[in-house]
Homo-oligomer: A and B are copies of this chain.
Amino acid sequence: MHDLDQMPGHLIRRLQQIAVAVFHAEVEAVGFDMTPVQFAALVRVSENPGIDQITLAGLIAYDRTTIAGVVDRLVQKGFLSRAVSEKDRRAKVLHMTDTGNEALTRLRPAVDKAQDVMLSGLDRQEAEDFMRLLHKATEAVNGLSRAPLRSASKAAEKT
């Protein structure tokens, strides 16, 4: 199996590359400048107000050294607020701002559309199969990266 085009890793990289481009295009069309990673972080914070950075990273499988920069940019855009936790002075807790909630509302349709575009080459049944296999493949090897996906378990809700 020495044909590059038949290697899963090569095809996955390519699809990810296209997915990011599609995301940017759709999001820009509604007047925002946001990356897929920033969007995912925003969604998770809105679902878990008061979450700390490490727990957030686990929820989306980001490396802990990556999450800081992502949050930085969201704070700078005025979408998130960041404050030292009262319960653990090492931790910083995150909350949505009004601007952030507004942005999320306006972004969702664009992001949904981007998902459709990514899979536009597949019919309904194929897309469903593909998603199922993606899920299954990903779960089986979740622990193999430095930043595994972690369940929310103790996702916060306080300042």
A residues in contact (CB < 8 Å) with B: 1-2, 4-23, 25, 36-37, 40, 43-44, 60-61, 108, 111-112, 114-115, 117-122, 126-127, 129-131, 133-142, 144-147, 149
Task: Report which residue of A18, A121, A131, A147 has the largest number of chain B beta carbons within 10 angstroms of its beta carbon.
Answer: A18
Cβ of A15: which chain B residues have Cβ within 8 Å of it? 12, 16, 134, 137-138
Can you show 16 pairs from A to B with CB atoms below 8 A apart? A1-B112, A7-B111, A7-B115, A9-B22, A9-B23, A10-B36, A12-B15, A13-B37, A15-B134, A18-B145, A21-B144, A21-B146, A121-B141, A126-B133, A126-B136, A129-B133
Which residue of B60, B134, B146, B149 is within 8 Å of A12 (Cβ)? Answer: B134
Q: Please determine whether B12 and A16 come into contact, CB atoms closer than 8 angstroms.
A: yes
Cβ of A120: which chain B residues have Cβ within 8 Å of it? 140-141
Which residue of B22, B133, B144 is within 8 Å of A144 (Cβ)? Answer: B22
- What's the dominant secondary structure at chain A's contact region? helix
- Bound Cα distance from A88 to B19, whole angstroms: 35
Cβ of A133: which chain B residues have Cβ within 8 Å of it? 122, 126, 129-130, 133
Q: Please determine whether A8 and B131 come into contact, CB atoms closer than 8 angstroms.
A: yes
List 9 tightest A-B contacts by C-beta distance, closest first: A121-B140, A21-B145, A16-B16, A130-B133, A11-B134, A9-B19, A121-B137, A18-B145, A12-B16
